Amino acid sequence: MTTASELFSEDARTRFSHTKALFEQLERQQEVPSFYSPRPTRQQAPPPPLPPKPTVPCPSSPISQVARNFSELASDLELLNRGSTRDQQLHDPPK
């Protein structure tokens, strides 16, 4: 631990002012120095423009596949229901 007399000595003041001057010089610099390897510079290029949205949905798009599958399911269910009502009429003659 340093004593008060060591802190107020001329040597400590000189070291402090030298260190302070180094930090002030670093703050004034435009680039921050890298002690390990040079920093890669980042290119600030604008992102590419977005492609235009298609006006007609693609036939293989997920939404069109769901719509097609749903309409097929609805027609299949309708056919099954029609068949089951016919079966009931055949097995249950009117009284």
Give 57-68 pLDDT, tens digit per residue: 666 788 888 988
Give 8-39 pLDDT, tens digit per residue: 778 877 888 888 988 888 888 777 666 666 66
**Phi, psi for residue 81 in degrees, rounded to 5:** -65, -40
- The pLDDT value recorded for residue 11 is 81
